Structure 1
Amino acid sequence: MQPNQKGIRPVTPQYDPWDAWMTRAATGKYELTSVEFTVTNLCNLRCEHCAVGETLVEREGLPISVDQLIRRLDEVETLKTLSITGGEPILNPRVVKETIRPLLKYCRERGIYTQLNSNLTLPLSRYEDWIEDLDVLHISYNYRDAEDFYRIAFQKAKKDVDFKTAETLFNRLKENARQLSAQGVFISAESLLSPFTSRHIVKMHQDIAEMGCKRHEVHPLYPSDFARGMELLTLDQYRETVHRLLDGHHPEVWILFGTLPFYPCSDKAEDRELWQRLHREPNVTVRQDPDGRNRLNVNAFTGDVIVTDFGDVPALGNIKTDRLDDIFQQWLEHPLAKKTHCFCLKAKCAGPNLLVAHAYYADWDFSKRRAKIEIQ
């Protein structure tokens, strides 16, 4: 497989175009550089941790035309990245043909980086006729084996699914990852840290390396939708898990810590020490949260524009009537944005994710805090 776009810089630990840090550090302000489209509410899984599970449906209507979506993208002069999510975007062939492929083609021609979120459990042939236009294939990986997959992936299913079916899907996920990785596809496997995955995260990391994935994304469990009632790790447990993963790091796999619940303004020395270690370790990065800092999510059915596809902030506007740039500027004036959009250049921190801040730091006003360390 050839690189997606000739002449553009590859995605590496030194250059992550989704990271809100880059634009904020370079320009002194947040700009809309990323748009995410939710292109389907269909999915063949019902995972216990799904942060959009309550929006999933069995049947859905017709989406907004891709021409209208592209017209709104044309208006965003600062656009650098586009993400496609669901549901499972590949489940409906019509969505692939009428929405995904035209969007990827548009981005390739414009030099926009692209990412698609998939559970990778469908036959390999469903990916091969469009994936050459994609920069990053993002998958979820929160399992040790088929038994874990069976329990987790069908926890919220309304009808019984037999183990053999789940085992087939799990084995297909792993084999698809191996084959696509061998073809040169950049696969980024995400694990959500929970009391279960925390215990087995090093094993999962090694499996991800064995599948050929170039990157392992690690995020907190987001307490939203299906996951709303699940137990969260304490900060002490989370910190210990991160250190253990770093100790077991496969050197050829890039580990990206996203929406990290530790900050350089922490009053705890162990939090500040972890922040510094993460910035010292080779092939390890901390991504500053894109949601609301350089990215908006667009529902391709209703046209509603929100800060994130799994947040509780009401819609900020609608692409049928509003420009995305105007919606983004409106969000920057929102009280929630002002409370969490702190920025410490010397500590390389752009503040917390909204859900993480609410879960762990509900009494903090980040705009009034200051970093206690610097990153050299």
Structure 2
Amino acid sequence: MFTMHDPWNTFETRFQNGRYELTSIEFTVTNLCNLRCEHCAVGEELLEKEGATLPLDLLLRRLDEIESLQTISLTGGEPILHPKVVRETIIPLLRYAKERGIHTQLNSNLTLPLSRYEDWIEDLDVLHISYNYRDVKDFHRITYKRFDREVSLSVAEKRFEQMKENAKALTKQGVFVSAESLLSPFTHQHIEKIHQDIVEMGCQRHEVHPLYPSDFAKGLDLITLDQYRDTVTRLLEIRDPNVWILFGTLPFFPCSDETTDRDLWLRLAQEPNVTVRPDPDGRNRLNVNAFTGDVIVTDFGDIPALGNIRQDRLTDVFERWLTHPVAKQYHCFCPAAHCTGPNILVANAYYPDWDFHTRTAKVAVGN
């Protein structure tokens, strides 16, 4: 287990090697889910019936070819929903990673019975959940927003309570649970209550990300940068100092012309138990669809597949991506500021007129 060390952070690899290198693979292992969250970045790909995955031997062979591999993430859908996925894909991948000394993360909504997690979770490094609610009414509205049939409040309450009790039980067993909140016009107003609940569930880390304007979330409004900055500041003031706060794909940069943005960047670098994770997608990570074999830069982007593991080595696909016009547009790097440039969706949403390559960091954050 790791504390305040984030092997998904792409900065160190880029700084040490002088170039971006493939260190992380994310597998989409299911297209099934028992929820339909309004913010879901892959909601339109969710199915009612699962297809057949590619042979496990092929997945492992492609991983064997990546000498620089440091992390594996498993996502969906809800990866734990189908026992066959757990038995034939998740458990073998987690055991492979453990034997190779590779860190692992699994993304789950944690709403299934606790017994569904206990048989394999000892081999997992990070259990990642999403938490954007004040109470069961929020959970009911948000998680069933796009469901194709009516779901009662009582059903939602059962799953909401199951999620919270599971988190408490697993963290007591020593499982590292990281709860992610997506800042939206709704959640940013209630970040204090959301953080309090995450602390009470025993989660060791609270991740804070922008709402990604893709898939189900394409029609949702984004908060302004002023609202985002205010939310981050409020969270820093009230946070539990024992819980690691991780800001992912932060929409503020050390090359900003705004003093407030540069001051915030410096503050986050100096705050204890707080880290900023540069965007890993395309800088050290690729996503592999375990059904089709398609390889993409991110599981919620609009860039077409870059290759397919049936015939392509993942390292070759990554090198192909580094020459892609989009990669060349956004892959800037400021070592003194510990900045690796913007997430593509964040840049398009908040900084469509910026040419990041012509900008220079105006602050340094030390070693």
With normalisation by structure 2, the TM-score equals: 0.99
Deviation at 1:60, TM superposition (A): 2.2
**Structure 2 counterpart of 1:12:** 3
Question: How is 1:1-376 mapped onto 2 (pairs within 5 angstroms)?
Answer: 10-13=1-4, 15-376=5-366
**What residue identity is the alignment partner of 2:33?**
C
**What residue identity is the alignment partner of 1:32?**
L
For residues 106-163 of structure 1, the C-alpha deviation after alignment (integer angstroms, 9 at most, x for no partner) is: 0011101000000000000000000000000000000011010000000000101011
Contact persistence 1:338–1:367 (CA under 8 A): no
Deviation at 1:12, TM superposition (A): 2.1
- Structure 1 segments of 4+ aligned residues over 3 angstroms from their partners: none
Which whole-Å CA distance do the structure 2 matches of 1:160 and 1:210 have between them? Answer: 30
- What secondary structure sits across from 1:227 in the alignment? helix
For residues 18-77 of structure 1, the C-alpha deviation after alignment (integer angstroms, 9 at most, x for no partner) is: 000110111111110000000001000000010111111111210101111000000000
- What secondary structure sits across from 1:257 in the alignment? strand
Which whole-Å CA distance do the structure 1 matches of 2:335 and 2:51 have between them? Answer: 45
Which whole-Å CA distance do the structure 2 matches of 1:182 and 1:351 have between them? Answer: 37
- What secondary structure sits across from 1:346 in the alignment? helix
Contact persistence 1:104–1:133 (CA under 8 A): yes
Counting aligned pairs with the same residue, the percent is 69
Which whole-Å CA distance do the structure 2 matches of 1:357 and 1:198 have between them? Answer: 20
- What secondary structure sits across from 2:336 in the alignment? coil
Contact persistence 1:64–1:301 (CA under 8 A): yes
- What secondary structure sits across from 1:255 in the alignment? strand
- What secondary structure sits across from 2:186 in the alignment? helix
- What secondary structure sits across from 2:348 in the alignment? helix
Which whole-Å CA distance do the structure 2 matches of 1:269 and 1:362 have between them? Answer: 20
Which whole-Å CA distance do the structure 2 matches of 1:336 and 1:363 have between them? Answer: 15
Q: Which runs of 5+ in 2 are unaligned?
A: none
- What secondary structure sits across from 2:25 in the alignment? strand
**What residue identity is the alignment partner of 1:11?**
F
- What secondary structure sits across from 2:57 in the alignment? helix
Deviation at 1:172, TM superposition (A): 0.4
**What residue identity is the alignment partner of 1:161?**
V
Number of aligned residue pairs: 366
- What secondary structure sits across from 1:351 in the alignment? coil
Contact persistence 1:48–1:152 (CA under 8 A): yes
Which whole-Å CA distance do the structure 1 matches of 2:345 and 2:332 have between them? Answer: 16
Structural RMSD (CA) = 0.6
Deviation at 1:196, TM superposition (A): 0.5
Deviation at 1:11, TM superposition (A): 2.1
Which whole-Å CA distance do the structure 2 matches of 1:184 and 1:341 have between them? Answer: 37
Which whole-Å CA distance do the structure 2 matches of 1:16 and 1:210 have between them? Answer: 23
- What secondary structure sits across from 2:281 in the alignment? coil
- What secondary structure sits across from 2:295 in the alignment? strand
Which whole-Å CA distance do the structure 2 matches of 1:338 and 1:267 have between them? Answer: 23
With normalisation by structure 1, the TM-score equals: 0.97
For residues 170-218 of structure 1, the C-alpha deviation after alignment (integer angstroms, 9 at most, x for no partner) is: 0000000000000000000000000100010111111111111010000
Contact persistence 1:258–1:289 (CA under 8 A): yes
- What secondary structure sits across from 1:70 in the alignment? helix
Which whole-Å CA distance do the structure 1 matches of 2:280 and 2:364 have between them? Answer: 22
For residues 317-361 of structure 1, the C-alpha deviation after alignment (integer angstroms, 9 at most, x for no partner) is: 000000000000010111111111100000110001111111111
